Amino acid sequence: QVHLMESGGGSVTIGGSLRLSCAASGDVISQHYMAWFRQAAGKGREAVAAISSASSYTHYSDAVQGRFTISRYNAGTTATTYLQMNSLKPEDTGIYYCAAVRKYGGTWRDTGSYNYWGQGTQVTVSS
């Protein structure tokens, strides 16, 4: 069983920065792919970024490429995944969720590819 908990959300002005954290625990969590998704009010959940277990590969959506950076730190039965968000825009507003999976059954962008989810943290970007 894997447990995920996000933190670091908040309110920021346009152009500002935030760093989200996802604290993960569980057996072989260091072997799991980790990802960040977000969901704006009234919209579906969309993939933001993903990172492989050993940080060998990262993926970003076109909307955040060049502005967001995903990273992770593995330590035994725990792992922390970060999402550094720079040059924030109002369209980045939403609830950000952390997700994990040991082996992809689909693409990194698919919510159905992940079997563990956190509760989410709110990010609000305004002028």
Q: For 36-51, write each residue's pLDDT tens digit.
A: 999 999 999 999 999 9
What is the Cα gyration radius of the chain?
14
**pLDDT tens sequence across 43-85:** 999 999 999 999 999 999 999 999 999 999 999 899 999 999 9
Residue 27 is predicted with a pLDDT of 81
Which pLDDT score is estimated for 71?
98
- Name the average pLDDT for the chain: 96
Mean local confidence (pLDDT), 3-28: 96
